[in-house]
């Protein structure tokens, strides 16, 4: 069985203390770091998604959006959480970072909303079809949820397995739980 892992937006601005910190994010990402050291061999490919916003992005409050400024290109807040990178580097795993939210004029909660990243994921899948895509990250009720919903369309023969221990959600997990309950191709590993 081929298996991929998508880690959604494990960036400093979404960790507690960041400009859009989510409660429980640091703990979830620290546990994910341990998991990666112990389970990296089960994945054919690992992808990390990252918000990569211009300061003029439409989602920011000062630009008419609903969010505080976050994940500004080349800022510390946009950087991938270092313990995850350390874990991947320590076991010498290749991974790919895919960006989204680069265009200031529209929101891209899902990695599949970014045309370049979507094309890359589709091309990688055509080389090695995925039976299962494990997914985790921040925030479960926005970017993780939307990535799953779009992924179900882009990969119609693939299951999405939510690694809930490695997800932090603004709403405590309710939205993601509802998605899991409503779709037979979305499964959950506690």
* Distance (Å, whole) CA 79 – CA 95: 15
Q: Which domains does the chain have, with CATH numbers?
A: 3-189 (3.40.50.850)
Statement: residue 21 has pLDDT above 70:
yes
Active-site annotation holder among 13, 45, 51, 134: 51
What number is the average pLDDT over the span 24-45?
A: 96
The SS3 of residue 186 is strand
Statement: residue 24 has pLDDT above 90:
yes
Report in angstroms the alpha-carbon separations of 57 from 11, 19, 47, 126, 159: 17, 15, 24, 32, 33
pLDDT score of 182: 95
User: Looking at the DSSP assignment, which residues form a beta bridge with residue 46?
Assistant: 5
100 is catalytic: yes
* Nearest of 145, 134, 109 to residue 190 by alpha carbon: 134
113 is catalytic: no
Chain segment 79-135, per-residue pLDDT in tens: 999 999 999 999 999 999 999 999 999 999 999 999 999 999 999 877 777 789 999
Active-site annotation holder among 50, 78, 139, 168: 139
Distance linking the first and last C-alpha atoms of the chain: 21
Active-site annotation holder among 4, 53, 69, 145: 53
pTM (global) more than 0.95: yes
59 is catalytic: yes
Q: What is the DSSP letter of 22?
A: -
């Amino acid at each position: 069985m081929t298996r991929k892992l998508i880690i959604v937006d494990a960036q400093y601005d979404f960790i507690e203390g960041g400009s859009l910190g989510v409660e429980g994010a640091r703990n979830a990402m620290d546990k994910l770091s341990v998991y990666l050291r112990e389970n990296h061999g089960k994945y054919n490919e690992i992808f990390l998604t990252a918000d990569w916003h211009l300061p003029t992005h439409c989602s920011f409050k000062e630009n008419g959006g609903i969010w505080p400024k976050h994940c500004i290109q080349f800022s510390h807040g946009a950087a991938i959480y270092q313990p995850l990178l350390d874990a991947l580097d320590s076991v010498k795993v290749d991974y790919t970072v895919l960006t989204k939210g680069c265009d200031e004029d529209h929101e891209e909660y899902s990695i599949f909303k970014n045309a370049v990243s979507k094309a890359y994921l589709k091309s990688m899948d055509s080389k090695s079809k995925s039976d299962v895509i494990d997914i985790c990250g921040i925030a479960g009720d926005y970017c993780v949820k939307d990535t799953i919903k779009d992924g179900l369309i882009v990969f119609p023969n693939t299951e999405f397995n939510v690694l809930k221990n490695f997800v932090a959600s603004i709403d405590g997990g309710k939205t993601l739980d509802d998605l899991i309950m409503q779709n037979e191709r979305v499964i959950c590993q506690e």
